[in-house]
Structure 1
Amino acid sequence: MTTSSNQVSSIPNLGKQFLAQELTYAKLIPALRKAFASDMVAPRRHVHTLSENPASTLLLMPVWQTHGTTGVKLVTVAPENNEAPSVHAIFILFDTTTGTPLAMMDGEELTLRRTAATSALASAYTSRADSEHLLMVGTGKLIPYLATAHCQVRPIKVITVWGRSQEKAEQSLHAILEQRELPKNIQLSVATNLSKAAAQADIVSCATTSSQAIVMGHMVKAGTHLDLVGGFTPNMREVDDTLMAKAQVFVDTYAGALTEAGDITQALANTCLERSSIVAELAELVSGEHRGRSDEQQITLFKSVGTAIEDLCGANLAWEAYQTSMVRSI
């Protein structure tokens, strides 16, 4: 079997700027709604330890459509790499029928945007329609993306940012202000007291790498929606057992959440969360099989660990935009 030496090198490389321009939330959120109701196949991601000292991990996330495209995201995680970003990612898109490589894409920008859009899609079914106050918990790269995406599906008027470091929280606040898709006239502030901020919020979105609960059950009011994005391993937690016990829980996929999400797996093991309390995955929400929130007083919780379905959805949008731009340039 032979392969042209320049086949891969000649395919377009769609970078961060192109993806940021083309993967708007106005396009991405409805595209994800269709993707989760489609026939995309996404096996559980492969996780390989490359080195224990220093720590280094390789993740492979394959996904395909029988009639359409195939993709794989390659991610390296090196937490001890202090001289460069600790996470690197690329996405490669193929034609499923012919196997031909079509494009390479910046995996980080693709991941940030599809993750935020997925949380917003879930919120459209699970948060109160009149939600106006959004609390962001964390100070990482996802925060401005999540904050902006949530504003696309709910009439957010106030965004509060809380982090362990007030300086980093202020930096996150400024990063939110720089988002071109952020609606005008949003009030932004940094919270110094998490408990008070959570008690005032309609939506609490967490994107941290914490191994211990940060948001506690006694902090949130009736009707609050929790969006948990950060904890993606069984030893990570963002909320406590008390909150898990009182929440109606939704997940992006059962396969991922029931095995990888510490907020889910630990709560199930502690018996404070019953399996029956995990009422729907995103595919069931978008198909209408489950209506989502049914009571204005419910505390709802969406747990996301990420699925390659989201990656392929965003990659298809970007590829279509690239093809259109090439036609226009002729």
Structure 2
Amino acid sequence: MTTSSHQASSIPHLSKEFLAKELTYAKLIPALRKAFASDMVAPRRHVHTLSENPASTLLLMPVWQTHGTTGVKLVTVAPENNEAPSVHAIFILFDKTTGAPLAMMDGEELTLRRTAAASALASAYISRTDSEHLLMIGTGKLIPYLATAHCQVRTIKEITVWGRSQEKAEQSMQAILEQRELPKNIQLSVATDLSKAAAQADVISCATTSRQAIVMGHMVKAGTHLDLVGGFTPNMREVDDTLMAKAQVFVDTYAGALTEAGDITQALANACLQRSAIVGELAELVNGKHRGRSDEQQITVFKSVGTAIEDLCGANLVWKAHVHEKMHHQTQTQDKQNQP
């Protein structure tokens, strides 16, 4: 992978379509398991406010391996951008030894897929092995990715979608159906009664930007696993204090979740969640330092805010596929040239 002769003009841009093709969950979930057990280093993200009014933000997420590659994800958030999406992202991969830039990649597709894969990886350790009913809460871009990824680690037979807008929930349900990695013969429906849907679910996956709790402690049955993907700032919430108080909590990283996740920071501040109840992070699960779910009646929570470890893991897979494809193309071209 070392390319000391790389020139800026020759750096490939790997598209959303290429990432979608190469970052299958069958490859990405096991790769993430190895990544969290590896020597990847991801400092806390840098957040810079570009303007207060209108609010505009630049995020930089660096990450590297002791031996291998390094990279940085650049994210801009411009809520006032009415002409295009308000969030843009790009990932730049470098050769760590030479410092040479290797590739630029679509940051949004990378983020969507690695986020969903991380939730599925956590579920493999802490949801009940007999989980069959998945409830998706939210109607954003992540919902079909999360739903599909969860189906890779558990034999899901039924997926229910709930959103504040029934029309958007139906659109999300259709988007799930269109996912090429979704197993066949899964029953999908839209819920109108959240309490009823939550009470029936084995796994509840939330991906919202809510500032108030949506899922309440009294709604969920014993043995439920909650995957909380939204609530990535201290002023956001997806579940209430009652639920957090009776849950065994896992996080993607302690460093991120204990400072950025409102579901955790607010519950800790309210003394409804004890620090001792946050029992493990992904690295400890994959390394065997924590066994994961130990009781079929436990209510478990996985709270993620994202880490650049996931980005670099996905970027390495994509880069490897790009190099393989390029070599294959060169071989074919050479073979044609050598034909009599």
**Length-normalised TM-score, structure 2:** 0.95
2:299 and 2:192 mapped to 1: Cα distance? 24
After superposition, residues 27-106 of structure 1 pair within 5 angstroms as 27-106=27-106
2:61 aligned with 1:22, yes or no? no
1:321 and 1:105 mapped to 2: Cα distance? 13
1:326 and 1:264 mapped to 2: Cα distance? 45
After superposition, residues 1-330 of structure 1 pair within 5 angstroms as 7-330=7-330
Name the SS for the 2:239 alignment partner. coil
Name the SS for the 1:82 alignment partner. coil
Deviation (angstroms), 1:110: 0.1
Q: Which moved more, 1:9-18 or 1:248-257?
A: 9-18
Which amino acid is the alignment partner of residue 97 of structure 1? T
Which consecutive unaligned segments of at least 5 residues does structure 1 have? none
2:51 and 2:189 mapped to 1: Cα distance? 41
Higher radius of gyration, 1 or 2: 2
Which amino acid is the alignment partner of residue 155 of structure 1? T
- How many residue pairs match? The answer is 326
Deviation (angstroms), 1:173: 0.4
Which amino acid is the alignment partner of residue 21 of structure 1? K
Which consecutive unaligned segments of at least 5 residues does structure 2 have? 331-340
1:8 and 1:307 mapped to 2: Cα distance? 27
2:8 and 2:263 mapped to 1: Cα distance? 40
1:166 and 1:293 mapped to 2: Cα distance? 34
2:230 and 2:194 mapped to 1: Cα distance? 17
Sequence identity, in percent?
88
Name the SS for the 2:9 alignment partner. coil
Name the SS for the 2:8 alignment partner. coil
Deviation (angstroms), 1:83: 1.9
Please list the CA deviations of residues 29-66 of structure 1 after superposition, one character each: whole Å capped at 9, or x if unmatched.
Answer: 00000000000000000011101111110000000012
Name the SS for the 2:152 alignment partner. coil
Please list every run of at least 4 consecutive aligned residues from structure 1 whose deviation after the TM superposition is greater than 6 angstroms: none
Deviation (angstroms), 1:257: 0.3
Cα-Cα RMSD: 0.9
Which amino acid is the alignment partner of residue 107 of structure 1? G
Name the SS for the 2:48 alignment partner. strand
Which amino acid is the alignment partner of residue 221 of structure 2? K
Partner of 2:337: none
Which amino acid is the alignment partner of residue 309 of structure 1? I
Deviation (angstroms), 1:123: 0.1
Please list the CA deviations of residues 174-201 of structure 1 after superposition, one character each: whole Å capped at 9, or x if unmatched.
Answer: 0000100000000000000100000000
